[in-house]
Structure 1
């Protein structure tokens, strides 16, 4: 198997027509270069150059091999330039995973703006209701909401915002009177924007430090924020939804906030990616854009 370093050294010696000049360019002693030339000739079984202390000339075989070396070196330089371009210019594909509600809350507005600003970046955005293994499943970036610190120490997590969920319902759902305490809400039809294997309980907190658990009847379990929101507007129950998703509905009177003096603990939103080492400029640009823009959408 040919040593590509030997091909490189050979091409430089030919270009400079001197081992001494080639040594200055490569930083490799001329004795080492001469030795590598002999090793290349032995590997090929051909004499590539006629050389004396004063002259250096290629044999016919050397001329032929040199032309191949030039093509190889050009491909290597092209690969290096392509890698440098990806590190210096935002170009390429970025694969993102996040929850469906994150798309509804912010990304369906942000992504078209991002694509218009960075036309050389392609986005693959897939939603999932679970934590995706970025490395095994080939993703570059995840948007994750969490209450406890993320545990995977091999990943980089950049906290960018706090997300706030509230209890909402149609005004018609409480036509006989809205509940004023968590106890009055016990047993209500709940529209849960989470997995079906979670407990059917909402844990709420008051500003004075009191806490309470509201047990609800799971009328609907779904990972679709749009479905939960529309079901609440249709009067099918009380939904726990991210506040940005329903602030317009509250302002327009389609929904009311249930137990407004009580709140659900906030979650942290983090941008998670495998490593900053070798991070492409396309991914870095995407992370920086989302870190700048997401707080404005999630703080409503």
Structure 2
């Protein structure tokens, strides 16, 4: 029995919560995986997993084996990564998750250069505006934009900060008038972002440290920043946009800033990895290219 392979299989089963999903990840049959774990349990003289038709759980021995095996596998991964890095090789399969708008506006333009630099690398990019379970999805890195991230077993690295400003189309403002103070926003048609923390409450920071909190009830609410941008360009109201979505439209005059001295709190751009993966060569290379893209 290949102990390292069985350790990897056992950890994948626990993290995926299913023999079938783990087998699919590893490219083997569930039956083979089941036999391997049975042989492992027989060699240890104890039960590691209890299974029913509906659920699977770790025994105390299984929890101990999972924790200790994880440390061994992480140590092996670190050694392999150092060797690969020393040889300048970035290869394997990198799975990345990001929001739809960030993926289209920031990641898509940088990917050709990244892929050209590492031709031996396979890439899977998943775009989802909702926060996904990294372990469940098998992702190596997830790019998340949040004011803060909750404590978890994941490792979050801040790679940038974005600005969140208020915009409208020039035609809309000519038609209904331009807000002069934050409180005027309540008299306008607001287009809101469904997944934002500030959908109905805008906390605006302005000159000399001033803060104004607005309670709003947007009549139009969408779950994608690019759709929101296009609605604003079409003159459908006033809304907030991150800079990576608004920059191009503002530069060509399709959108203008409303109350330019006032902004919402600036969210951070985080690169999130599962602690078991750390910063291997694939993730390091990807984040180096992403940081460069964010600086341009």
> Same fold, TM exceeding 0.5?
yes
Could you list the runs of 5+ residues in structure 1 that have no partner in the other structure?
4-79
- Match of residue 42 from structure 1: none
Tell me the alpha carbon deviations over residues 107-127 of structure 1, each in whole angstroms, 9 at most, x when there is no partner. Answer: 121112211211111211112
Q: Is the Cα–Cα contact under 8 Å of residues 190 and 218 in structure 1 kept in the other structure?
A: yes
Tell me the alpha carbon deviations over residues 223-248 of structure 1, each in whole angstroms, 9 at most, x when there is no partner. Answer: 32221111101001112111232223
Tell me the alpha carbon deviations over residues 120-157 of structure 1, each in whole angstroms, 9 at most, x when there is no partner. Answer: 112111122222221122111011112124411x2221
Q: Find runs of 4+ consecutive structure 1 residues off by over 6 angstroms.
A: none
- Match of residue 293 from structure 1: 292
Distance 1:202 1:251 in 2: 25
- Match of residue 35 from structure 2: none
Q: Is the Cα–Cα contact under 8 Å of residues 203 and 214 in structure 1 kept in the other structure?
A: yes
- Match of residue 162 from structure 1: 161
Q: Is the Cα–Cα contact under 8 Å of residues 188 and 216 in structure 1 kept in the other structure?
A: no
1:129 aligns with 2:132: no
Deviation at 1:294, TM superposition (A): 3.9
| Aligned residue runs from structure 1 range 111-260, under 5 A | 111-152=111-152, 154-175=153-174, 176-195=176-195, 199-260=199-260
SS in 1 for 2:235: coil
1:110 aligns with 2:110: yes
SS in 1 for 2:208: coil
Tell me the alpha carbon deviations over residues 182-217 of structure 1, each in whole angstroms, 9 at most, x when there is no partner. Answer: 111114222223328965222211121221123334
Indicate how the Cα distance of structure 1 residues 198 and 204 shifts in structure 2: closer, same or farther if over 3 A, else same.
closer
SS in 1 for 2:219: strand
Q: Is the Cα–Cα contact under 8 Å of residues 115 and 121 in structure 2 kept in the other structure?
A: yes
Distance 1:2 1:296 in 2: 46
Could you list the runs of 5+ residues in structure 2 that have no partner in the other structure?
4-76
Deviation at 1:251, TM superposition (A): 2.6
Distance 2:125 2:184 in 1: 41
SS in 2 for 1:269: strand
Distance 1:194 1:93 in 2: 33
Deviation at 1:262, TM superposition (A): 0.8
SS in 2 for 1:270: strand
SS in 2 for 1:259: coil
Q: Is the Cα–Cα contact under 8 Å of residues 110 and 289 in structure 2 kept in the other structure?
A: no
| TM-score normalised by length of structure 1 | 0.65
Indicate how the Cα distance of structure 1 residues 128 and 187 shifts in structure 2: closer, same or farther if over 3 A, else same.
farther
Distance 1:124 1:185 in 2: 41
Distance 2:197 2:163 in 1: 22
Distance 1:278 1:193 in 2: 33
Distance 1:216 1:275 in 2: 39
Distance 1:278 1:243 in 2: 29
| TM-score normalised by length of structure 2 | 0.66
Q: Is the Cα–Cα contact under 8 Å of residues 156 and 270 in structure 2 kept in the other structure?
A: yes
| Aligned residue runs from structure 1 range 255-274, under 5 A | 255-274=255-274
**Aligned length, in residue pairs:** 217
